[in-house]
Every structure is written in structure tokens, then in C-alpha cells.
């Protein structure tokens, strides 16, 4: 037995299938677009009698295209060009269309016989009509209530709506990236379109994924309008493009810095910038932006920042800005940053509802957090209910980030997601001490101990889980050893009673513990240890002073010897003077005679 709700839901499905089938039959009755990416794009074919024929470019113009797009229930024509969707396979239409643009069907238009019966290669009409999607009632054309047209314009029901699905609407509207989705409640139920996000995620157009429904809660959407990241793996990564007016332009690395990146990531609703580098997401395709951004980092939008004219009008290959912003995902309340309650930010931080959650989907969260792989998922009950995100496992498993797969749950929940990732242990601490003369030396990056002394290497870790063990790993140039001890009070001491040169090398502590039915380990930094010989030290203390004394003695001796050699001639002079003085004393009369002669 089906419930009333189930019966109503089934009736909706049957009605929608009937509408879809009728619309498709009517639209494909006499005109169709083939080989395209949706019902609104492809190579044009018309049906006359019982066969389909391609149309040559020369027999078709913009007014004819407007009629075709309207007939197919699409938006206005955006591209009209031959060979976009393959070469001609069907027979060629031999009449020239002469539409006024107001007709409801292409075959209602006037026609004249064409001079051709075949069409040159590459000249068959390729047509792309815009998707009938719009945002109304907002501050700009890129914000407001989301509406889709299928026969008539209707708002979209706010149920199971994801940012990834919203991105498709922003892309169709040429409005950059999806930044924010919300709901607006009407006084009473109204006719709406219910859009299946999984259908949109598969690449189908919004109109093709819509089914008729009723609701008082409808989608409000805000797109980034003037900035976007293209060719990336998510809405938070890609080559940066800006749109100041009607066209998108790439930005050169030299005109963009870290503060500018912070503004862009915030504007797109992403986390902080993690990578800023050119050529990460393809070469420049759009025109080049010719101004240098001068953001302070606090602005809410990139085009709110100051700008100055740049000296360049082109950008060297590989120099277009490639930007990756972190995903706004976190684990809170756990023993480490890699374990706890899973929360995602879309305008606000909310926990994730523990429903339809798989370990494969959980692996995406661990990957976004740079926390290894998913180990376990669980549920935590809260006494009071609060707003949560519901995340589609199918969406996440397809490779999309959690934020893009999150939708606002229609119900509050008391059961929220608990997640443990493999990289959940903090790094252990390694230290060494040596007792010599009652003095304990402190830990050093490079440590010296005296030969023959006792030294201890200690391993410790912040309290997270009980038990576990420490493995001390020793590596030298010619050997390697491992020593293991149980963790007691989250630490272990490895005593070495007599240091010798064999203990020289690198040491590290590896902490291991068995939790969540898995073994985890974490390794400390390396510590380098050198063993010094005290005998050599003592010898040096004795030999050095003796050597210095000997050197001093030799220097003194050399100086004396040198002084002795210099005193020889001086002594001779002094002797000569002495002898001369004696002779003069003995010959005083001679001096007097000399003196008298002088007189």
C-alpha cells in the first residue's frame, strides 16, 4: 500500500513524464537540433514529409534562428555557425527560409526555392540557443529568484538544491560562479519546477531536469557576476577571469598578488588561497586585463579594489593567473584537526547530517583537509536540533567538493556526522639529556654527549589516545637499530649507559597506537647526536699549555740570541772609546799642547 504522499509523488512523476514526452514530440515534429550538448544546441534538421534534411547556412539567417529557438522552447539564439556539430549526414533542404522572426514554427515561415541541392562541407547550419533560465527580483541580473521556462516561467523548488547545480544556472546566465543559494518562503504553495540535482550534475540542462511540482519554498541564487575561475577542478580553482563590462578577460600574474587572491577567494565563498601560480589551468584564451589590481585584502569584491593601468596589453605564455582556494571544510571537537564533527561552510558553518553517508564520500572530506584517507564515520546525537547540511554521496563520489554537493536539509537534525581520517596523530617530541657532574643538558637539534657518559633519549606525545608504543629508530653511516617501549603516561625513556662512537647518528621517535580498529603512527623530527672523547679533551687541556710554554720559551731564546748578535759591534765601539780615554789620560800634556796651540 502506498501512502497519500507516495501516491501524490507517483502522480507527479507520471504527469511530468507525460508533459516531457508531449513537449518532446511537439518540438521534434518538424524541427530538431542533433549532435549537440542539449535540446537547445546542435546541427539543424527539418522534416518534410517523412525524412529529415539538413539546412545550408546560406538559406538560414538570424530571424530564422529566433523562430527555431522559440519553437524548441529554448532561449534566444546565441551562436549561429556552420560545422559546429558535425558534417551533413541527412539529405539537404532545398528551400531558403524567409522568416519574419515572429512565427511560432519554422515551417510556418515563407520559403523560396534554393539554387542548391547540396551544401559545401562545413556549411550545414549549427545553432545554439540559450537556455531559458533567469534570476529575477535581485539587486542585479546575476542575483535573485531562480526561474526556468518550460512552456511557462516558474520558480525552482528549494529542495535538495546544491551549489553544483546552481553553478549550471550561473554558467548559462554568463554570471560567473555560484556563490550562495538560499530559500525564499511564499505565503502559500505555488507552481514550481522540481529539479533533480543528480540530473544537472550529469551535465544536462536545467530545463531538461525539471519536473512539475508545488511548494512555498523557492530557490534564491547569487552568482559572482564579475569574477570566475575556469578550467579548474571545482568552483574554488582555475584560471582567473574578470568581467568589468560584457566580456571576460584573463589576468596576468604581474598584475595580481596574494592580497588580491584573498579577495577573490572570499568573493567566491571559498577558503583562503592555497596556490597562486601561472599556467596551472591552461593558457590564456580570453582577452587580457590591462590594469594592475591593488587590493588591501579586506575588500568584498575584486572590482572594488584600486587599480592602475598596466604596462602590458598581452601576457606571456604561462603567466595568466592560476588560483586555488582551499575548500571551506573542517573537523571540530576532536583530539586533532583530522578527527571530529564534520562542518562545511556555505555562507555559514553547519554540521553535516549523518544520513546516506559512505566511507567513500568521507574520503573526499579527508582529502580536502589534507588528512590522508577516511578511517571511520560515526554519528553523534545532540539533545537539541539545529540546521545542518545534507550532502549527496553520489555527488561527492563523482569528484565534486563537499561544498558543491551540500544542500540545506528541509528538516533540522540531532544526528550529525563524526569523521576520523588517517592522519590524525600529532607529531611526537624527541629530546635527549646527559648527566655529567650532576648537570642535565637541554635538548638540541644537534646534540653532543661525552664518551662513557650516560644519556637518555625521551619520546613523548600530547595526550590523545590511551596506550600505544614508541619505537626509537637509530641510523648511522653503517648501521641501523630499532628499540621499542610501551607508552607510559604518553612517553618513553631509552637509556644508554655508556656513550661510545657507535652511538653517533640520527634518532627519531615513532609513536604507534591502535584505535578505531586501525593502526596509526606518527614520526618525530630527526635528532643528530655526536659522541665526544673526554680523554682527548683532557690531553688537549694539558698539551696546549705545555705547547704554549715551549713556544714562548723558543721565542724568548730567539729574541735573546738575536739581541746578542746585535750587541757585538756596540761593545767594540764602547771598548774603543774606553781605550781612547785611557790613552788620553796618559797623554794629558799632548791635550794641553793641543789646547795651547788652539789658543
Closest CA relative to residue 380, chosen from 404, 410, 351: 351
Q: How many CB atoms lie within 10 A of CB 297?
A: 13
Q: Which pLDDT does position 446 carry in this prediction?
A: 74
What is the Cα–Cα distance from 314 to 311, expressed in whole angstroms?
A: 9
**235-249 pLDDT tens trace:** 999 999 999 888 898
**Three-state secondary structure call for residue 585:** helix
What is the Cα–Cα distance from 501 to 101, expressed in whole angstroms?
A: 94
Contact between 395 and 416 (Cβ < 8 Å) = no
pLDDT at 24 over 60: no
Give the pLDDT band of residue 437 (cuts 50, 70, 90): very low
Higher-scoring residue by pLDDT: 587, 371: 371
- Across the range 527-542, mean pLDDT stands at 74
Q: Which pLDDT does position 595 carry in this prediction?
A: 37
* Cell numbers representing residue 416 in the block: 550529525
Query: What are the residues facing 456 on neighbouring strands?
Result: 433, 495
* Pair type for strands 31-35 and 77-80: unpaired
* Pair type for strands 339-345 and 413-421: antiparallel
**48-79 pLDDT tens trace:** 777 888 888 888 999 999 999 999 988 888 88
**Three-state secondary structure call for residue 317:** coil
Least confident of 18-27, 325-334, 363-372: 18-27
Q: Which pLDDT does position 540 carry in this prediction?
A: 63
How far are the Cα atoms of 33, 153, 225, 529 from residue 171, in angstroms, in the given order? 21, 19, 10, 60
DSSP assigned state of 81: -
Contact between 372 and 397 (Cβ < 8 Å) = no
DSSP assigned state of 58: G
**96-131 pLDDT tens trace:** 899 998 898 999 999 888 777 677 777 888 899 989
Contact between 5 and 79 (Cβ < 8 Å) = no
Residues 6+ apart with CB under 8 A from 322: 238, 239, 240, 275, 276, 277, 278, 279, 280, 281
Identify the H or E element spanning 321: strand 321-325
Residues 6+ apart with CB under 8 A from 319: 252, 253, 254, 278, 279
**489-519 pLDDT tens trace:** 999 999 999 888 999 999 999 999 988 777 8
The dihedral through the CA atoms of 176, 182, 184, 190 has a sign that is positive
CA 239: distance to chain centroid?
13
**400-413 pLDDT tens trace:** 888 998 887 666 66
DSSP 187-217: EEEEEEEEE-HHHHHTT--TGGGEEEEEEEE
What is the Cα–Cα distance from 368 to 328, expressed in whole angstroms?
A: 9
CA torsion, ordered 203, 208, 211, 212, to nearest 10 deg: 140
Arithmetic mean of pLDDT over the chain: 81
* Cell numbers representing residue 556 in the block: 724568548
What is the Cα–Cα distance from 57 to 77, expressed in whole angstroms?
A: 15
DSSP assigned state of 488: B
User: What domains lie within the chain, and their CATH numbers?
Assistant: 24-129 (3.10.250.10), 133-223 (3.10.250.10), 227-325 (3.10.250.10), 329-421 (3.10.250.10), 429-535 (2.60.40.10)
Q: Which pLDDT does position 144 carry in this prediction?
A: 95
* Pair type for strands 374-386 and 413-421: antiparallel
Higher-scoring residue by pLDDT: 451, 50: 451
Amino acid at each position: 500500500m502506498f501512502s497519500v504522499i507516495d501516491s501524490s509523488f507517483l502522480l507527479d512523476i507520471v504527469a511530468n513524464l507525460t508533459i516531457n514526452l508531449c513537449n518532446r514530440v511537439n518540438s521534434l515534429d518538424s524541427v530538431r537540433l542533433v549532435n549537440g550538448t542539449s535540446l537547445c544546441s546542435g546541427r539543424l534538421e527539418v522534416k518534410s514529409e517523412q525524412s529529415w534534411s539538413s539546412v545550408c547556412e546560406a538559406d538560414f539567417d538570424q530571424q530564422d534562428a529566433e523562430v527555431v529557438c522559440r519553437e524548441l522552447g529554448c532561449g534566444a539564439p546565441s551562436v549561429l555557425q556552420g560545422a559546429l556539430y558535425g558534417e551533413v549526414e541527412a539529405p539537404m533542404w532545398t528551400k531558403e527560409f524567409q522568416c519574419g522572426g515572429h512565427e511560432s514554427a519554422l515551417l510556418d515561415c515563407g520559403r523560396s526555392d534554393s539554387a542548391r541541392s547540396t551544401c559545401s562541407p562545413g556549411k550545414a547550419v549549427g545553432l545554439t540557443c540559450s537556455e531559458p533560465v533567469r534570476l529575477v527580483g535581485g539587486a542585479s541580473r546575476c542575483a535573485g529568484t531562480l526561474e526556468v521556462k518550460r512552456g511557462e516561467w516558474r520558480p525552482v523548488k528549494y529542495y535538495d538544491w546544491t551549489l553544483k547545480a546552481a553553478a549550471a544556472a550561473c554558467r548559462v546566465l554568463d554570471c560567473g560562479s555560484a556563490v550562495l543559494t538560499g530559500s525564499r518562503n511564499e505565503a502559500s504553495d505555488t507552481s514550481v519546477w522540481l529539479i533533480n540535482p543528480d540530473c544537472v550534475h550529469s551535465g544536462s540542462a536545467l530545463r531538461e531536469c525539471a519536473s512539475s511540482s508545488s511548494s512555498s519554498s523557492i530557490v534564491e541564487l547569487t552568482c559572482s557576476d564579475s569574477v570566475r575561475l575556469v578550467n579548474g577542478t571545482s568552483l574554488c580553482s582555475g584560471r582567473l577571469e574578470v568581467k568589468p563590462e560584457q566580456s571576460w578577460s584573463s589576468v596576468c600574474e604581474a598584475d595580481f598578488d596574494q592580497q588580491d587572491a584573498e579577495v577573490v577567494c572570499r568573493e567566491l565563498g571559498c577558503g583562503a588561497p592555497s596556490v597562486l601560480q601561472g599556467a596551472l589551468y591552461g593558457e590564456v584564451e580570453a582577452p587580457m586585463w590591462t590594469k594592475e589590481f591593488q587590493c588591501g585584502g579586506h575588500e568584498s569584491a575584486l572590482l572594488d579594489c584600486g587599480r592602475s593601468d598596466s604596462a602590458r596589453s598581452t601576457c606571456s605564455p604561462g603567466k595568466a593567473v592560476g588560483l586555488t582556494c582551499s575548500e571551506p571544510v573542517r573537523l571540530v571537537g576532536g583530539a586533532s584537526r583530522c578527527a571530529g564533527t564534520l562542518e562545511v561552510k556555505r555562507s555559514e558553518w553547519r554540521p553535516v547530517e549523518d544520513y546516506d553517508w559512505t566511507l567513500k564520500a568521507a574520503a573526499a572530506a579527508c582529502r580536502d583537509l589534507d588528512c590522508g584517507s577516511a578511517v571511520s564515520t560515526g554519528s553523534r546525537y545532540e539533545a537539541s536540533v539545529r540546521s545542518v547540511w545534507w550532502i549527496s554521496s553520489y555527488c561527492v563520489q563523482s569528484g565534486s567538493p563537499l561544498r558543491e554537493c551540500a544542500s540545506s536539509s528541509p528538516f533540522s537534525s540531532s544526528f550529525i556526522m563524526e569523521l576520523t581520517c588517517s592522519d590524525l596523530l600529532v607529531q611526537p617530541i624527541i629530546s635527549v639529556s646527559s648527566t655529567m657532574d650532576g648537570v642535565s643538558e637541554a635538548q638540541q637539534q644537534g646534540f653532543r654527549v661525552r664518551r662513557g657518559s650516560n644519556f637518555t633519549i625521551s619520546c613523548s606525545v600530547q595526550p590523545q589516545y590511551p596506550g600505544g608504543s614508541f619505537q626509537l629508530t637509530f641510523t648511522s653511516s653503517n648501521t641501523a637499530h630499532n628499540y621499542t617501549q610501551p607508552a607510559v603516561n604518553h612517553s618513553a625513556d631509552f637509556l644508554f649507559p655508556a656513550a661510545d662512537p657507535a652511538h653517533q647518528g640520527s634518532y627519531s621517535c615513532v609513536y604507534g597506537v591502535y584505535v578505531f580498529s586501525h593502526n596509526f603512527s606518527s614520526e618525530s623530527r630527526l635528532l643528530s647526536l655526536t659522541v665526544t672523547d673526554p680523554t682527548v679533551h683532557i690531553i688537549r687541556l694539558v698539551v696546549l699549555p705545555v705547547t704554549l710554554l715551549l713556544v714562548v720559551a723558543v721565542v724568548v731564546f730567539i729574541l735573546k740570541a738575536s739581541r746578542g748578535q746585535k750587541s757585538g759591534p756596540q761593545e767594540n765601539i764602547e771598548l774603543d772609546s774606553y781605550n781612547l780615554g785611557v790613552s788620553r789620560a796618559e797623554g794629558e800634556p799632548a791635550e794641553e799642547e793641543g789646547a795651547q796651540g788652539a789658543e
